[in-house]
Structures are given as C-alpha cells and as structure tokens.
Amino acid sequence: MNLTDVNNKNQTQLYGHVKTFNEMSALYIKKKLPKKIILSGPNGIGKSTFSYHLINYIFSLDEKNNYDLKNLKINEINRSFNLVKSNSHPNFHLIEVGNEKKNIEIDQIRQMINFCNKSSFNNREKIVLIDSIEKLNKNSVNALLKIVEQPNDNIYFILILDSNKNILNTLKSRCVKFNFFLTSKESIKITNLITNSNIFELINQDLIHYYSSPGHYIKLINFSRKYDFDLKNTDLKKFLIYLIDNSYYIKDNFISVCIYQYLEFYLLKITNRNNSNKLNLLYKKFIEKIFNMHKYNLDKESFFIEFKTKIFNG
C-alpha cells in the first residue's frame, strides 16, 4: 500500500474505537445523539477517520450501498461517501486549517454560519465537522460559540480536539465530549492492519513507544520512504543526530512537531540508565527548554546545536 494515499476521508475501514462507534450509532437511531460533540484524543489516534465513518453512517442510512455497521465499513460506491470525499455534499460542511495557515480563521466560521442558516437538502440533517478546534483563534472561537449556542435540531456539530491542547471552557461546556484512547498493542495492531505489514520490520524497536498513535507510526514510515532513510537499523540516538544534522526540524512538518517528543524519550533513556546528578540537571534543563521552545517560539537552530553539544558530545 502507498501510505501517502491513506487519508481520513477515503479510509473506508474503521480500525478500533468499536465500542464508541456502536454507542454513538445506537444513540442516533434512538434520536438521542448529542447535537454538539467533541472527539478528544491524541493526534493520529483515529478521531478524524471515526468522524467520517459516523457521518457516512448518518447520511447513508436511507441510501443504496449504505454503511456496513457489522463490519464498520463504508461502501466505496455509496453516493454520500463520494460527495463528502469531494467536499460537495449539500448537507455537509468541513472546516480545517488551510494550507500554509496556522489557525482556523474567522472567515471560515462565517462561511459555516451561512451554511447553517440555509435550508437543508431534502430536509435532512446537516453536519458540520471542524477538525483541530484547538487551532481556532480568539475571534473564530467567539463566532463559533454564537452559532453553537443557538438551538437547532437539524444540525450536528462534530468537533475534533487534540487532547494535548486546551480550548475555552465556554466551548467545552456546550458540547458532549467523547475521549479516544488506544493501548500500545492496539496502536501497533491498527498500524499493521492499515499498512498491511509488520512495523517491527520497518521501524527500530528503539523508536516505538507506548503512547504513539497509528497516525504517528504511519507518518514516520512515510518520512523514511520520502527521504530513503533506514528506520529498521537506526536507534534513537542515530535517528536524532540524522534529524538535527539535516535540519529536518525545519524542513519537514511532521518532524518539526515530533522531534521534541523523541528528545524527551532520549533524555529519559539516558537518565534512567545512568542516574547521575549531572544528567538529572541536564534533563530538567532541556525539558524546560523544550517547554519554552513551544511557548515562546525560541530559535530552534541554537537549541539543537546546544543539545547535540551537551548531550551527544558531552
């Protein structure tokens, strides 16, 4: 399988989260599914794929080739699936961070409000999906609150949240939150099913950690293929040196986010192995620096030069 083709919109098989999906589909049939939902969990755990399956389940109930609830599978020739995939379904509106943008902008919320104020096609439910609500800016959040507060029995709001980030309590309090979680074994099993392979034959054991998600593993495999890099025979230290020496923390979006996690893994590894006061102090120092990197957007190059000098060469 070409993993670059693995996309939340066209992933027709749902892996994991079976209990939650059965619960929510049953609530919908009983007309008790909350109209404002937050799906909360770490990035890459499957919240977005879950959303598209729930959306297809709702839209396709009275259509040909409808959702296969028994096997948690979308029929590829279903009309609503293809309309949603092309973002042309008359009763569906998607909001996500635009290309080369950092936040969801106020104009996107205004367009969504216009969508909500129009009559629905065939008098059926409308669904608004907002991916990464933690990336709403202040004005966007305030505009969203106004529409969410309005009672409208014909519109479902599905909001996807990275559980490692915060959102306003005023928004959180107006929604019903469903928490998403996978064990380490579940994440590895799902990754193997999606990739049709064994990740231990693709990724060094040193790079596989208990709270990584299937989405993280797939992006890591994609990274290795894109840059023709052997992850199977590379331990954590060699991997970090490779990323720093080639400045992938600047060049690659995935690495720019996950490299700090790998730095923490490495620091924990060496401090647990060699319990010395010097290493413990260095660990605390660099953990604080990593936190400040995110908070104050500090100079990355200086940080990584210092890390390499004091940790790898020290």
DSSP 56-98: HHHHHTTSTT--BTTTTB--TT-HHHHHHHTT--TTEEEE-PP
pLDDT of residue 297: 73
| 204-219 average pLDDT score | 89
Q: pLDDT exceeding 90 applies to what percent of the chain?
A: 67
pLDDT of residue 123: 86
In total, the chain counts a number of residues equal to: 314
pLDDT of residue 7: 66
Sheet architecture: strand order including 155-162: 92-95, 126-130, 155-162, 36-41, 176-179
Strands 126-130 and 176-179: unpaired
d(CA 128, CA 151): 15
- Is the pLDDT at 2 greater than 60? The verdict is no
- Is the pLDDT at 52 greater than 50? The verdict is yes
Q: 87: which 2 tokens? A: 């973002």
- Is the pLDDT at 273 greater than 50? The verdict is yes
Q: Where are the domains of the chain?
A: 3-179, 198-312
pLDDT of residue 66: 97
pLDDT of residue 5: 45
Split at pLDDT 50, 70, 90, the class of 3 is low
Tell me, what DSSP letter sits at residue 309? Answer: I
pLDDT of residue 6: 54
| Other residues' Cβ atoms within 10 Å of the Cβ of residue 1 | 9
pLDDT of residue 87: 94
pLDDT of residue 4: 46
What are the residue ranges of helices labelled H in the chain? Answer: 18-29, 47-60, 79-85, 106-117, 138-149, 169-172, 184-195, 214-226, 236-245, 248-251, 253-273, 277-296, 300-307
Pick from 15-24, 53-62, 150-159: least confident? 150-159
Q: pLDDT exceeding 70 applies to what percent of the chain?
A: 96
For residues 129-159, one letter each, b for 16 or more C-beta atoms within 10 angstroms of the residue's C-beta and e for the rest, the string is bbbbbbbbeeebbebbbebbeeeeeebbbbb
Split at pLDDT 50, 70, 90, the class of 210 is low
pLDDT of residue 190: 96
d(CA 181, CA 44): 11
pLDDT of residue 245: 94
311 or 90, which is more confident? 90
Radius of gyration of the chain from Cα atoms?
A: 22
* CATH 3.40.50.300 describes domain 3-179: yes
